[in-house]
Amino acid sequence: MERETILSVRDLDVKFNLRGRKLNALRGVSLDLYKGESLAIVGESGSGKSVFVKTFMGLLDANGWIDGGSITYKGDDLAQYRTERQWLTVRGKEIAMVLQDPMTSLNPLKTIGAQIIEAIELHQGLHGDAARNEMLSVLTDVGITEPERRSRQYPHEFSGGMRQRVVIAIAVACRPKILICDEPTTALDVTIQAQILSLIRNLKAKYDLTTVYITHDLGVVANVADRIAVMYAGDIVEIGLCEEVFYEPKHPYTWALLSSLPQLGVKGEPLYSIHGTPPNLFYEVKGDAFAPRNPQALKIDFVKRPPYFDVSPTHKARTWLLDPRAPKIEPPEAVRKLATEGVKGYA
Amino acid sequence: MMNYIAGRRMASIRKRGSGRGFDNSMLKYCVKRLASSIITLLIIITVVFVLLRQMPIEGYFDNFEKADQATINAKLEQLGLNDPIPVQLFNFLKNLLKGDLGTSARYSVGAPIAQIIAKKAPVSIKLGVLSMALALIMGIPLGAAMARGKGRFWDKFGTVFIVFINAVPAAVYHIFIQMYGTSFLGISMLFDEANLVTWILPVFSMALGNTAYYAMWLRRYMVDEMNKDYVRLARAKGVDSRKIMMRHVFRNAFVPMIQYIPTSLLYTVSGSIYIESLYSIPGMGGLLVDVIGRQDNPMVQAIVIMYSCIGIVGLLLGDLLMGMIDPRISFVKKEGAR
């Protein structure tokens, strides 16, 4: 199936300057985002998930910069954008974002209504009563009852889940093409998480959005994603359709990640955890970044960085295991179990 | 510093609820807050009053050395100083309510204290208000520019300025300002109320301290706010950085600043000892030191009480202003709320 690419990233390098030392936060990441899809980017803390999506909007911290590669959106290379003026044509208008912590992502001194209207005035060109009505309808869309009264209230009068709805309302009020959700449910309690996820899903359909989730919660992924990209040490090591990554993972890091799902553990046994720590990105990483933590790493993993090998037209992974010359190494038992039985609540 | 105490008070304000505007709950709060201010004031008056009764009685006479025992006793009786202290305090409070602060004993013999202050206060108040306005006009843009261009020119310039003002004794730069300023403007060293040019240097000198103070705190609060998530969200929704600064960062950073302003205004209008003596301005600045030196007990008492009043009113205004601009501060007690 041919799909329309909305955003295309090629060999993106991002570096940070930390007290004179250079950190390679992203090491040649490539990704095609398809129109209307829902992509989840998973990976542990520090793997570069957030940095990666921030580059789409020019929101890197002041000490970070794009060192190479391209981000093509509507024929423009966003990686070449330098001025705030250029970025303002993208932020909100084309790509909007939902942040992780709703408790802090609203301005405490402005009413909910004013904060949504700010986005509407910027991106829909409505003012006065028209903007107000639009604001009320967006509030209704995100499931806030009595929008008239609620819009005059301040963030501290809202609960966490309600605030996240408001944050989503602000993002949607920008009428973006792409919605990035940076760990949208991490700060919420479990009962609210499902509501928020289904809300985002409904809005995606209603406003014809392409959504990108960043998360380390595989439960969220299974719920919302069409495709999964697994990031490790500043690179996407495996990407494929949700079922492909869950049931036929190819990269040893994906295996390790799935094995550490608590639901796959055996009662009484210690929970699987990945040994060691991620590589120090202050240095050039040689070979496969995951090799030092992989007990079954091949010799070549330490020498040469693997290319992407296609598993299927939609599924590819960066591991030498997929090379025809590689020895056959079976995924761990937990992963095989997942493939045959599935896990309650997952996929 | 009273300003720090003002900062402390914040904690006692309830951070919840939704009472907005000057409604009933706000009125209730004002009344309560006023009542507690009055109690504080009464306690201060009592303490000051009792302490001053422990001072030598010379402080009530302009010619104690030459007076004989009979004259002294007669005078003490006339002033009511032989009464028990509670009675004296009660009489003092009664007079205070009528606006009578007593009469000066040595500073300006027999003159009502209220009159002495009324004569000296206007010039101090005018200078103080002007210097305060100047401090706000200079300090707030400086602080905002420092926060905006963190690490760049204005930040470095402001840091040097703030460190200079805080580290160098005020006496040193005030003298230099007077020396070079007066010769630059071609005016005499002394203040002349009728000549507006002579107002420039004292006002400027008085404003320097507060300018540095506002710039320092505003920069600090703005930098704090700039790193908050709601600023990140505003950027992500496509607001340009100038508007982010004005609409989002500045207003939030100004909340903790606003409560200092009444207090520092009131202290500024009560006069600066050093500046007033430097330019020989007939203000109130040196009055307290002066009357302490001359052991004028009634005047020391009156002026100390006046300063306490100023402090208390400043804190009160600060709290009320905060409540008006920060919606999170509520004036109603919520039973059972977290």
Same domain, A80 and A217: yes
Above 50 in pLDDT, residue A37? yes
> A313-325: per-residue pLDDT in tens?
999 999 999 999 8
Neighbours of A295 (CB within 10 A): 7
Condensed to tens digits (0 to 9), the pLDDT of residues A84-101 reads 999 999 999 999 999 888
Helix (H) or strand (E) holding B112: none
Average pLDDT over residues B31-59: 88
For residue range B294-335, list pLDDT tens digits in order.
Answer: 888 888 888 888 888 888 888 888 888 888 888 887 665 554
**Exposed e or buried b per residue across A239-254, where buried means at least 16 C-beta atoms within 10 angstroms of its C-beta:** bbbbebbbbbbbbbbb
Give Cβ neighbours of residue B15 (< 8 Å, ≥ 6 apart): A156, B328, B329, B330
Q: Are residues A278 and A320 in the same domain?
A: yes
Shortest distance between the Cα of B149 and any Cα of chain A, in A, equals 12
pLDDT tens digits, one per residue of A155-191: 999 999 999 999 999 999 999 999 999 999 888 888 8
Q: How far is B161 from chain A (nearest CA, A)?
A: 26
* Same domain? A170 vs A26: yes
**Is A124 contained in some domain?**
yes
Q: Output the CA torsion sign for B252, B253, B259, B262.
A: negative
Q: How confident is the model at residue A107 (pLDDT cuts 50, 70, 90)?
A: very high
Q: Which residues of B touch A105 (CB under 8 A)?
A: 229-230, 232-233
Which of the 8 DSSP states describes residue A317? Answer: E
- Whole-angstrom Cα distance, residue B328 to residue B319? 13
Same domain? A43 vs A112 = yes
A68 and A172 belong to one structural domain: yes
Q: Residue ranges of the alpha helices (H) in B54-169?
A: 69-79, 85-97, 113-148, 153-167
Last residue of a domain, one of A197, A225, A253: A225
Contact A142, A172 (CB under 8 A): yes
The count of domains in chain A is 2
Average pLDDT along chain A: 90
* Pair (A84, A190) in one structural domain: yes
Looking at the domain assignment, is residue A117 inside a domain?
yes
Per-residue tokens: A44? 């542990």
A293: in domain: yes
Query: What is the distance between the alpha carbons of residues A233 and A305, in angstroms, rounded to a whole number?
Result: 13
Q: Is the dihedral of CA B59, B61, B62, B66 positive or negative?
A: negative
Helix axes B260-269, B113-148, angle to 10 degrees: 130
Instruction: Mark yes or no for CB contact A109/B237 under 8 Å.
Output: no
- In this prediction, residue A343 carries a pLDDT of 58
Tens digits of residue pLDDT in B141-155: 999 999 988 788 999
Per the CB < 8 Å rule, is B251 touching A84?
no
B279 DSSP assignment: T
The residue count for chain A: 347
Considering the domain boundaries, does residue A49 fall inside one? yes
Evaluate if residue A69 carries a pLDDT over 90. yes
Q: For residue A167, how far is the Cα from the chain centroid? A: 17
Radius of gyration of chain B (CA): 24
Read out DSSP for A188-247?
Answer: S-HHHHHHHHHHHHHHHHHHT-EEEEEES-HHHHHHH-SEEEEEETTEEEEEEEHHHHHH
pLDDT of residue A34: 95
Contact yes or no for A61/A16 (Cβ under 8 A): yes
Cα distances (Å, whole numbers) of residue B4 to B8, B163, B171, B315, B326: 6, 19, 23, 11, 19
The range of the structural domain enclosing residue A140 comes to 5-225
3 state DSSP class of A64: strand
Q: What is the spatial distance between Cα B272 and Cα A288, in angstroms, rounded to a whole number?
A: 71
CA A152, CA A145: separation in Å to the nearest integer? 13
Q: A237-288: per-residue pLDDT in tens?
A: 999 999 999 999 999 999 998 888 877 777 777 888 888 888 888 888 888 9
Distances (CA, A) of B184 to B177, B178, B189, B190, B202: 10, 10, 11, 14, 14
| Best B237, B246, B322 residue to mutate vs chain A (most A CBs within 10 Å) | B237
Nearest Cα to Cα of residue B121 among B1, B258, B234, B282: B282
Query: Quick check: B21 pLDDT over 70?
Result: no
**pLDDT band with cut points at 50, 70 and 90 for residue A347:** very low
Tell me, yes or no, whether A270 and A156 share the same domain. no
Contact between residue B302 and residue B290 where contact means Cβ atoms under 8 Å apart: no
For the ranges A76-90, A158-172, B5-19, the lowest mean pLDDT is seen at: B5-19
**Partner-chain residue, chosen from A92, A118, A157, that has the shortest CB–CB distance to B18:** A157
Distance CA(A229)–CA(A244), nearest Å, equals 11
Cα–Cα distance between B213 and B265 in angstroms, integer? 13
Q: Residue B24: how many CB atoms within 10 A of its CB?
A: 10
CB A109 to CB B327 under 8 A?
A: yes
Please state, in angstroms and rounded to a whole number, the distance separating the CA atoms of residues B221 and B218. 5
Paired residues of A178 in beta bridges: A95, A210
Other residues' Cβ atoms within 10 Å of the Cβ of residue B246: 11
Q: Which tops the pLDDT comparison, B107 or B132?
A: B132
- Residue A274 and residue A216 in one domain: no
Q: Which of B41-55, B179-193, B256-270 has the lowest mean pLDDT?
A: B256-270
In terms of phi and psi (left: phi > 0; alpha: psi -120 to 50; beta: otherwise), the region of B279 is alpha
Does the distance separating the beta carbons of A59 and B235 come in below 8 Å? Answer: yes
End position of a domain, from candidates A182, A205, A225: A225
| 3 state SS for A88-157 | HCCECCCEEEECCCCCCCCCCCCCHHHHHHHHHHHHCCCCHHHHHHHHHHHHHHCCCCCHHHHCCCCHHH
Model confidence at A109: pLDDT above 60: yes
Model pLDDT, residue B331: 62
Q: How confident is the model at residue B10 (pLDDT cuts 50, 70, 90)?
A: very low
DSSP string, A22-35: EEEEEEEEEEEEET
- Model pLDDT, residue B17: 41
Q: Are A311 and A244 in contact (CB under 8 A)?
A: yes
CB B169, CB B244: distance < 8 Å: no
Q: Mean pLDDT across the stretch B247-273?
A: 85
Tell me what percent of the residues of chain A surpass a pLDDT of 90.
Answer: 65
* Same-domain pairing of A17 and A125: yes
The residue written with tokens 């609060």 in the block is B221
Please give the pLDDT value at position A312.
93
What type of residue is B142?
L
Mean pLDDT across chain B, nearest whole number? 83
Q: Looking at the predicted structure, is the pLDDT value of residue B264 above 60?
A: yes
Q: Is the pLDDT of residue A68 over 70?
A: yes
Share of chain A above pLDDT 70, in %: 98
List residues in chain B touching A: CB distance below 8 A: 15-16, 18, 228-230, 232-241, 247-248, 251-252, 255, 325-328
Claim to verify: residue A36 and residue A162 sit in the same structural domain: yes
Residue A154 lies in a domain: yes
Which of A225, A256, A288 corresponds to the end of one domain?
Answer: A225
For residues A208 and A247, membership in a common domain is answered with no
Testing the interface with B: which of A81, A98, A109 to mutate, by most B Cβ within 10 A?
A109
Please give the structure tokens belonging to residue A120.
């509407």
Q: What is the pLDDT of residue B335?
A: 46
Considering only B64-73, B219-228, B242-251, which range has the smallest mean pLDDT?
B64-73
The 10s digit of each residue's pLDDT in B206-224 is: 999 999 999 999 999 999 9
Pairing assessment for the beta strands A315-317 and A309-312 based on DSSP bridges = antiparallel
For residue B248, give the nearest of A107, A122, A154 by CB distance.
A107
A331 confidence band (pLDDT: 50, 70, 90):
confident
Is residue A347 in a domain? no
- Site from B233, B243, B252, B257 to mutate, A interface, most A CB atoms within 10 angstroms: B233
The pLDDT, as a whole number, for residue B23 is 62
Instruction: Supply the pLDDT for residue A218.
Output: 84
- Mean pLDDT to the nearest integer, B147-167: 92
Query: Which CATH number does the domain housing residue A105 bear?
Result: 3.40.50.300
Mean pLDDT value across residues A105-129:
93
What's the rounded Cα separation, in Å, for the pair A110 and B326? 9
- Sheet containing A21-34, strands listed edge to edge, beginning at the edge strand earlier in sequence: A21-34, A5-18, A64-73, A76-77
Among residues B153, B154, B174, B156, the alpha carbon closest in space to that of B165 is found at B174
> Is 50 exceeded by the pLDDT of residue B110?
yes
CA distance B207 to chain A (A): 30
Rounded to whole angstroms, how far apart are CA atoms A48 and A13? 11
Q: Give the tokens for residue A62.
A: 């002041």
H or E stretch including A39? strand A38-42
A346 within some domain: no
Residue A98 and residue A210 in one domain: yes
A68–chain B nearest CA distance, Å? 23
Domains and CATH numbers, chain B: 2-325 (1.10.3720.10)
**Interchain pair B238, A170: CB under 8 A:** no
Which residues on chain A are in Cβ contact (under 8 Å) with B18?
153-154, 157
Estimate the crossing angle of helix A112-123 against helix A128-141, to 10 degrees.
110
- A16 part of a folded domain: yes
What is the DSSP annotation of B251-269? HHHHHHHHTHHHHHHHHHH
Which pLDDT score is estimated for A342? 67
Contacts of A119 in chain B (CB under 8 A): 237-238
